[in-house]
Structure 1
Amino acid sequence: MNTSYIDGTDMIFQKAQDLLEEEIEAIQQTKELLDDNFIRAISLMNECTGKLIVTGIGKSGHAARKMAATMVSLGITAVYLNPAEAVHGDLGIVQENDIVIGISKSGESKELIAIYPAIKSLKASIITITANPYSKMAQYSDVVLRIGIKKEAGHLNLAPTSSVIASLALGDALATIVAEMKGFSEEQFAVYHPGGALGEGLTMKVEDLLTVNHYSAVEETGSFQEILIELTTKRIGATVVMRNDNIVGIITDGDLKRLLEKYQEESFKLVAKNISESKPTTIQKGTKVIDAIRIMERRDHPISVLPVLDGSRYLGTLRIHDVLRGL
């Protein structure tokens, strides 16, 4: 559909941009309000021997659920507590060594105020995320983290928008920093995400992406014609050069193209050992796909193909395209 024919298109784009700017401003203001209380919150969470319990009502409740979910995915034991249900027995989940994180823009949510005294009596710590550091919830808290909100994004300044975005961003900062301090690793992340693309990318081995079509090799005495046939039939972007069953070089499509441009018909007189790049970068069977990506990308000149070996035995050539498709 051609949006240029819709009346008010420019106005719609402008309103969207204005709203996003207002939400960006809320995060920026929250960033500027970071102080020693944030350090205290991080310290409490890092030293916590119990669990983290995140609570909020309404849209802040949705933010609390997401915050708890992020923490769990990063190896931090966390749960969401519905404050409306807490006053009817669910508060039993709170124990002495726990930390309760309450989210409320006003700091005056009656549902949370109703459970804060009980949480204190259970000797759990309280961290409150709010725009009002002088609120009733703040008064019960061990640590108060401020979100910077001038107004809620949108034309009514009513629906929770900027305040929720700022709370979520602050929660992400808490979760990721604590996870890093606890030494949470890629391997642990993969354990917690076995079914997703991220988890597969962290656990999959390079040989898992190889097929019979990934094996492409010529002897070092192989003719230019043999090399050309191997590259065009296998179509993996490169062929390795072998001597006594060991890799001694590699020839890529790009190498062949540059050779033809430089020597033209004289190229057909060359053999593989005259063309190949010696000592190519290789990778061993059992290497994780994510590490293969790093090897490809973190060279002075990034590469897109990587021969896979089992000891000294050549198994096949992995392409960056296979990696991306596998993820």
Structure 2
Amino acid sequence: MVENSIKSVIEAESDELKKLTESLDYDVVNTLIKKIQNNKGNIFVTGCGTSAMAAKKIVHTMQVVNQRIFYLNPSDAVHGGIGAIEKDDIVIMVSKGGSTNELCSFLENLKSKEAFIVYVGENGDSKIGKSADLFLKIKIEKEPDEYNMLATASTLAVISVFDAIAIYIERNSSFSQKVFLENHPSGDVGDRLSAIVK
């Protein structure tokens, strides 16, 4: 039945997120939060395929809470886009396995620019993992599809952790409803904020 199938996937993803709260290295998360809070430059997030979708969601949410953060398209990066990156900028690379060719192709360029590289994924022994300055391990036990292949629960896990980071920053900064309205003046959120902020 459709209902049972839909419920099973949602429940499976929910279970993976609950298990993630136990396996997450909170010292690493704290280090990343401090790097973001103390960063004087820009932050870039990059990824390919489904990881690119997660990267774009991370960027959007963090922009709303007042962070200078941008999505870096991997194919554009190797055609001049890396030029936007300066020393001590943070580059967050989202890759489940850590060996995505498109991302690995400009690792050395990031190192030579002295950017701070954060790897978000499962494999610390991967090429990206070994090159990164910080490894945030986000690993689930199983995707809910029949072949354990479709990047669903794993993508949701990455987004969830960065949602939590964004909300922590929101709560522990000078961010206010007034700033929220300045950043998000349109849509239902903008309408509700406009009714609150005088």
Deviations 1:134-170 (A, max 9, x none): 2221111111111122222212222211111111111
In 2, distance between residues paired with 1:76 and 1:92? 20
Q: Equivalent residue for 2:136? A: 145
Q: Does the aligned pair in 2 maintain the 1:26–1:147 contact within 8 Å?
A: no
Letter in 2 for 1:121: S
Q: Secondary structure at the match of 2:136?
A: strand
The runs of 5 or more residues in structure 2 that have no matched partner are none
Distance 2:6 2:188 in 1: 31
- Any idea what the Cα deviations from partners look like across 1:10-52, whole Å, max 9, x if unmatched? xx22222221122122222322222211111111111000111
What are structure 1's unaligned runs of at least 5 residues?
Answer: 1-8, 206-286, 289-327
Deviation per CA, 1:92-118, whole angstroms, max 9, x where unpaired?
121113101111111111111112221
Structure 2 residue 69 is the aligned partner of structure 1 residue 78 = yes
Q: 2:194 aligns with which of 189, 203, 226?
A: 203
Equivalent residue in structure 2 for 1:87, among 73, 78, 91? 78
**1:60-139 alignment runs, 5 A limit:** 60-139=51-130
Task: State the partner residue of 2:19.
Answer: 29
Higher relative contact order (CA 8 A, sep 6+): 2
Structure (1 or 2) with the larger CA radius of gyration: 1
In structure 2, what is the Cα distance between the partners aligned to 1:105 and 1:130?
4
Distance change >3 Å, CA 174–CA 117, structure 1 → 2 = farther
Q: 2:7 aligns with which of 4, 14, 17?
A: 17
Matching residue of 2:159:
168
Is contact 1:63-1:167 (8 Å) kept? Answer: yes
Tell me which residue corresponds to 1:248: none
TM-score by length of 2: 0.92
Paired with 1:142 and 1:28, the residues of 2 have a C-alpha distance of 27
Match of 2:150 among 159, 165, 171: 159
Q: Deviations over 1:219-257 (max 9, x none)?
A: xxxxxxxxxxxxxxxxxxxxxxxxxxxxxxxxxxxxxxx
Which has the larger strand fraction? 1
Q: Matched residue of 1:39: which SS? A: helix
Shift of the alpha carbon at 1:197? 2.3
Percent of paired sites with the same residue: 33
RMSD across aligned C-alpha pairs, in angstroms?
1.6
Query: In 2 relative to 1, CA 30–151 (structure 1 residues): closer, same or farther, beyond 3 Å?
Result: same
Note the C-alpha offset of 1:173. Answer: 1.6
Distance 1:159 1:21 in 2: 16
Q: 3-state DSSP class of the match of 1:204?
A: helix
Give the residue type in structure 2 aligned to 1:56: G
Tell me the matched-pair count. 197
Matches within 5 A, 1:1-327: 9=1, 12-35=2-25, 36-204=27-195, 288=198
